[in-house]
């Protein structure tokens, strides 16, 4: 296979944002471009929502304004990431093809006037998307300013599932490909339960709202089908572009870690370069940890290769309950964390704040306040700093630990009627990730069936759905010398959301050296004490029967009093830990300290928790999220200040990007 086209690394780190000049008179464009140059912008994404302007009537194109824009940007040396506008079909499209509108799970047909694609299985939508993508490729495929194709926008948002008649038919066809026979479907879905057996494919439908809880295996398959249908839409556009324009990289902006309706492990191979959008949870005072998680997940989806951050915000967004503005310096701290975790492009939504429409209160690189503003000066300063960091372009991050991540398991666990509403896969992943973030352990995310042999430590905080193949993979990993940590409510069901034969954790029984006889969820607010001073758990406990594991900590009270709470099992050259209750991030530290010893993971003891330290190839990126300065003993040159030293002070809120002398 020939290598996939990539962005030209000679341009260094790409910097810019979404640029929507069609919202402004053309006189403003010259000022935009002048200011872009002042800020060091070298890439902008255009055309993402321009379908109605580019194809005002079906089959009639108007490229005049975009032609002029391409030439202006090119003359200024600014590259173009060209969007295909298929996330927002024009009014004429929905008028002409009303059957292409998305139908909700409760049967509501969604109207026009907002944005959001049509039904992913609509033949008319697919045809129209391919037509506009092909027309753009023919028009601009050879333009020297074209650097990247940005297909669609954020597949899966704002809606993903569609329950229209056309979607139902497509779901049936998808099921026929997956199961071939109705007997196989009936077996996989367990339709003997509640008398749901099917005798005719035409009777199988999308899992719309029903009188009670709908068959969970049917819902899980519908989630898989939805992700696949969206991916087919991407592939159709991509192939139409590639046929005309084979040498320019094609991507789409993922929302790794914030939108759970697409299985990005399946998407990753289909793009030429992985790209991501990330927005902070403004309410969370430690939202930089969530940012780091999304960046690490994006790098993992990219198989460790550099990736592009296509959107984040310069300050507040407009769609959260309280849109907290970024504090002074936070813009750069956020950008540098993405960069340290493997991003080769740092881009924002959007270049110039919109005066009209739903997003007028969203921050931008050029805010409503204009250039005499804090945001503009921070945008300029970041552009200048990124210009000093070209040596990071194309380099990689090595992680020694991995957290297992599987969208299919999340979809299954999020269905109704689980043992406790306090169970949250995301909460446990966040807690384990936060623990390792504070300990400065570099983390990748991995699919449970992926090759794990390069990691010293693998953590499975939320592997509710775990296939036998994945369990075998984990067994091989531990036997080969790995350290595995498994949290409660893992390895419960197979790929059809059916409890594993042999009961809870059955496929990992010999790995963990135990079996779980019964779940013992706790009441709201109830805590249980462990026999380690000060350690308590909440939410969950298990009735565990030991089959070879040693007890590391036991319950002193609660429903499992006297029984094991935390266990360790030696298997082959490795060890497997089991955590049967919910511990806080701080308390997880007590357990992880011992886990790190098993794994041989070195944890710096003298650095404060709020100092983020990332190593990207021969560079150390240090970001101080705390309010005191700290000294970092790293022998090298800080590329931002030019200072060459063995110890670098990282000011409160400050950043260092140190090129190491010893690599
Ligand atoms: C993204 C979207 C952008 C813009 C942004 C606002 O999800 O791709 O078009 O809406 O959110 O935060």
Catalytic residue among 55, 154, 260, 330: 154
In this prediction, residue 313 carries a pLDDT of 98
Task: Judge contact between 452 and 473, C-beta under 8 A.
Answer: yes
Q: At what angle do helices 287-301 and 330-340 cross, to 10 degrees?
A: 30
Q: Is 275 in the pocket of ligand 1 (CB under 6 A)?
A: no
Indicate whether 196 pLDDT > 90. Answer: yes
Which residues on adjacent β-strands are paired with residue 103?
109
Structure tokens at 475: 């067994």
CA distances for 15 relative to 79, 80, 343, 383, angstroms: 10, 11, 11, 7
Other Cβ atoms within 10 Å of 441 Cβ, number: 21
In this prediction, residue 2 carries a pLDDT of 81
Question: For the chain, how far is it from start to end, CA to CA, in angstroms?
Answer: 33
Other Cβ atoms within 10 Å of 25 Cβ, number: 7
Task: Judge contact between 590 and 532, C-beta under 8 A.
Answer: yes
Residue 556 known to be catalytic = no
How big is the chain by its Cα radius of gyration, in Å? 26
**What is the average pLDDT value for the chain, to the nearest integer?**
97
Q: Is 494 in the pocket of ligand 1 (CB under 6 A)?
A: no
Q: Is 279 in the pocket of ligand 1 (CB under 6 A)?
A: yes
Cα of 121 from ligand 1 centre, angstroms: 24
Indicate whether 1 pLDDT > 80. Answer: no
The span from the CA of 553 to the CA of 562, in Å, is: 10
Cα of 416 from ligand 1 centre, angstroms: 30
Cα of 349 from ligand 1 centre, angstroms: 6
**What's the rounded mean pLDDT across residues 119-139?**
98
What CATH architecture does domain 401-599 belong to? 3-Layer(aba) Sandwich (3.40)
**What's the rounded mean pLDDT across residues 604-612?**
91
Other Cβ atoms within 10 Å of 328 Cβ, number: 10
Q: Which atom of ligand 1 lies at the shortest distance from residue 154's CA?
A: 8
Task: Judge contact between 543 and 517, C-beta under 8 A.
Answer: yes
> Between β-strands 644-650 and 275-277, what pairing exists: parallel, antiparallel or unpaired?
unpaired
Q: Where are the domains of the chain?
A: 1-15+283-394, 401-599, 611-660
Give pLDDT tens digits for 138-163. 999 999 999 999 999 999 999 999 99
Give pLDDT tens digits for 468-517. 999 999 999 999 999 999 999 999 999 999 999 999 999 999 999 999 99
Task: Judge contact between 344 and 7, C-beta under 8 A.
Answer: yes
Q: Is 317 in the pocket of ligand 1 (CB under 6 A)?
A: yes
Catalytic residue among 161, 237, 311, 330: 311
Residue with tokens 């109830």, as numbered in its chain: 526
In this prediction, residue 561 carries a pLDDT of 98
Whether the bond between 638 and the residue before it is cis, its omega within 30 degrees of 0, is: no
Closest C-alpha residue for ligand 1 atom 4: 349
Closest C-alpha residue for ligand 1 atom 7: 154
Indicate whether 662 pLDDT > 90. Answer: no
Structure tokens at 307: 């990736």
In this prediction, residue 604 carries a pLDDT of 85
Other Cβ atoms within 10 Å of 241 Cβ, number: 23
Closest C-alpha residue for ligand 1 atom 5: 349
Residue 615 pLDDT level (bands cut at 50, 70, 90): very high
Q: Is 153 in the pocket of ligand 1 (CB under 6 A)?
A: yes
Cα of 113 from ligand 1 centre, angstroms: 16
**What's the rounded mean pLDDT across residues 29-38?**
98
For domain 611-660, which CATH number applies: 2.60.40.3880, 3.40.50.720, 2.60.40.1180, 2.60.120.560? Answer: 2.60.40.1180
Residue 255 pLDDT level (bands cut at 50, 70, 90): very high
Closest C-alpha residue for ligand 1 atom 11: 349
The span from the CA of 539 to the CA of 579, in Å, is: 12
Indicate whether 573 pLDDT > 70. Answer: yes
Task: Judge contact between 258 and 155, C-beta under 8 A.
Answer: no
Structure tokens at 121: 């299985």
Q: Which of 50, 349, 354, 361 best tests ligand 1's pocket when mutated (most atoms within 8 Å of CB)? A: 349
The span from the CA of 300 to the CA of 83, in Å, is: 25
Give pLDDT tens digits for 215-239. 999 999 999 999 999 999 999 999 9
Q: Is 150 in the pocket of ligand 1 (CB under 6 A)?
A: no
Determine what percent of the chain is predicted with pLDDT higher than 70: 100
Q: Is 264 in the pocket of ligand 1 (CB under 6 A)?
A: no
Cα of 359 from ligand 1 centre, angstroms: 9
Q: Is 32 in the pocket of ligand 1 (CB under 6 A)?
A: no
**Matching CATH topology for 401-599 and 611-660?**
no
pTM above 0.95, yes or no: yes
In this prediction, residue 663 carries a pLDDT of 60
Residue 55 known to be catalytic = no
Q: Which atom of ligand 1 lies at the shortest distance from residue 157's CA?
A: 7
Residue with tokens 């019964």, as numbered in its chain: 518
Q: Which atom of ligand 1 lies at the shortest distance from residue 319's CA?
A: 12
Contacts of 25 (CB under 8 A, 6+ apart): none
**What's the rounded mean pLDDT across residues 121-133?**
98
Q: Which of 44, 158, 277 best tests ligand 1's pocket when mutated (most atoms within 8 Å of CB)? A: 277
Closest C-alpha residue for ligand 1 atom 12: 317
């Amino acid at each position: 296979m020939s290598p996939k086209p990539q962005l030209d690394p000679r341009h260094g780190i790409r910097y810019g944002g979404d640029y929507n000049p069609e919202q402004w008179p053309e006189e403003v464009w010259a000022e935009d471009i002048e200011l872009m140059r002042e800020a060091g912008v070298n890439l902008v994404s255009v055309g993402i929502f321009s379908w109605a302007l580019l194809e005002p009537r079906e089959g009639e194109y108007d490229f005049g304004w975009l032609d002029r824009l391409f030439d202006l940007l090119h003359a200024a040396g600014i590259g173009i990431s060209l969007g295909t506008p298929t996330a927002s079909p024009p009014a004429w499209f929905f008028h002409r093809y009303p059957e292409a509108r998305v139908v909700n799970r409760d049967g509501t047909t969604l109207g026009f006037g907002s944005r959001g694609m049509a039904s992913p299985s609509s033949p008319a939508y697919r045809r129209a998307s391919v037509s506009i993508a092909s027309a753009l490729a023919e028009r601009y495929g050879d333009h020297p300013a074209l650097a990247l194709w940005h297909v669609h926008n954020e597949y899966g948002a704002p809606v993903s599932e569609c329950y229209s008649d056309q979607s139902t038919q497509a779901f049936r066809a998808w099921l026929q490909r997956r199961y071939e026979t109705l007997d196989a479907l009936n077996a996989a879905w367990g339709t003997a339960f509640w008398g749901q057996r099917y005798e005719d494919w035409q009777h199988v439908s999308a899992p719309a709202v029903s009188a009670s809880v709908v068959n969970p295996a049917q819902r899980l398959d519908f989630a898989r089908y939805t992700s696949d249908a969206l991916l087919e839409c991407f592939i159709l556009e991509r192939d139409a572009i590639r046929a005309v324009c084979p040498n320019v990289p094609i991507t789409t902006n993922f929302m790794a870690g914030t939108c759970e309706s697409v299985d990005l492990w399946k998407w990753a191979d289909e793009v030429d370069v992985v790209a991501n959008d990330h927005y902070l949870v403004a309410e969370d005072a430690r939202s930089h940890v969530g940012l780091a998680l999304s960046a690490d997940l994006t790098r993992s989806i990219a198989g460790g290769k550099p990736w592009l951050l296509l959107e984040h915000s310069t300050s507040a967004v407009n769609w959260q309950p309280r849109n907290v503005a970024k504090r002074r310096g936070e813009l750069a701290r956020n950008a540098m964390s993405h960069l340290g975790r493997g991003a080769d492009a740092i881009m924002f939504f959007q270049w110039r704040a919109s005066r009209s429409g739903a997003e007028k209160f969203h921050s931008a690189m050029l805010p409503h306040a204009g250039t005499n503003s804090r945001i503009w000066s921070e945008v300029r300063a970041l552009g200048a700093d990124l210009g000093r960091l070209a040596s990071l372009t194309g380099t990689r991050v090595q992680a020694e630990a991995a957290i297992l991540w599987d969208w299919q398991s999340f979809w299954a666990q999020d269905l109704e009627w689980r043992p406790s509403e306090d169970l949250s896969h995301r909460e446990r992943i966040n807690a384990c990730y936060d623990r390792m973030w504070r300990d400065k352990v570099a983390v990748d995310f991995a699919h449970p069936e992926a090759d794990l042999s390069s990691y010293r430590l693998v953590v499975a905080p939320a592997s509710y759905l775990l296939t036998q193949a994945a369990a075998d993979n984990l067994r091989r990993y531990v036997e080969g010398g790995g350290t595995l940590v498994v949290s409660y409510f893992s390895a419960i069901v197979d790929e059809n959301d059916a409890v594993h034969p042999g009961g809870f954790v059955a496929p990992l029984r010999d790995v963990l050296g135990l079996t779980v006889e019964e779940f013992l969820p706790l009441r709201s607010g109830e805590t249980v004490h462990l026999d380690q001073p000060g350690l308590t758990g909440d939410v969950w406990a298990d009735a565990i029967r030991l089959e070879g594991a040693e007890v590391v900590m036991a319950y002193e009270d609660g429903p499992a009093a006297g029984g094991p709470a935390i266990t360790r099992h030696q298997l082959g050259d490795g060890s497997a830990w089991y955590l049967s209750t919910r511990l806080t991030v701080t308390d997880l530290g007590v357990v992880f300290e011992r886990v790190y010893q098993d794994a041989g993971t070195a944890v710096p003891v003298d650095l404060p928790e709020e100092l983020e330290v990332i190593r990207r190839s021969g560079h150390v990126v240090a970001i101080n999220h705390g309010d005191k300065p700290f000294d970092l003993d790293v022998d090298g040159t800080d590329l931002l200040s030019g200072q060459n030293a063995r110890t670098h002070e990282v000011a409160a809120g400050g950043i260092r990007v140190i090129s190491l002398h010893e690599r």
